[in-house]
Every structure is written in C-alpha cells, then in structure tokens.
Amino acid sequence: MDNHPSDIALADLEQAINYWRNLRPSRGEERSLSPEVNRLAEVYALMIYERLQSLPLARIGPDALALIEAWRAKRV
C-alpha cells in the first residue's frame, strides 16, 4: 500500500511487476523479460540497492512511471 500518492512502496512495485508479467510474460528460450517488466525491474533494483521501502515517483523515468500509472488505474 502506498505511503503517499507521489511515492511507490516496494510491495506495490512488486505487484505492478507481477501485473505486467501476467500481461507480457517472459518469451523465447532465454525467457527474456518483456520491455515493460524490464523497465520496472530497473526501478526495483534501485530500491533494493538503496534499501528503500518507498520511492518518490519524481525519481522514476517517464516510461516506468507510465507503467506504474497504468497498473494503478487497473487496480482501482
């Protein structure tokens, strides 16, 4: 659950990643991530590396932000 509407919590980012994984599953023999999941995985890696429980949306690039906003719109 988001701490603030202008942030994303780590648990919510995990849910967004799973949402996009279900829509765009891994493909090919190498099981490559879809571009959508890959974008969100970069944000996830940053949060893990910096040991953050939430991240201001202002720190997220426009492509990943659009994916998060689309996920948020679908879960309402």
Q: With 90 as the cut, is the pLDDT of residue 2 above it?
A: no
CB contact at 8 A, 58 and 3: no
Burial class (CB in 10 A: 0-12, 13-18, 19+), 37: buried
pLDDT per residue over 22-69, tens digit each? 999 887 777 788 999 999 999 999 999 999 999 999 999 999 999 999
CB contact at 8 A, 23 and 16: no
pLDDT at 53: 96
CA distances from 49 to 10, 19, 41, 42 (A): 12, 23, 12, 10
pLDDT per residue over 39-52, tens digit each? 999 999 999 999 99
pLDDT at 12: 96
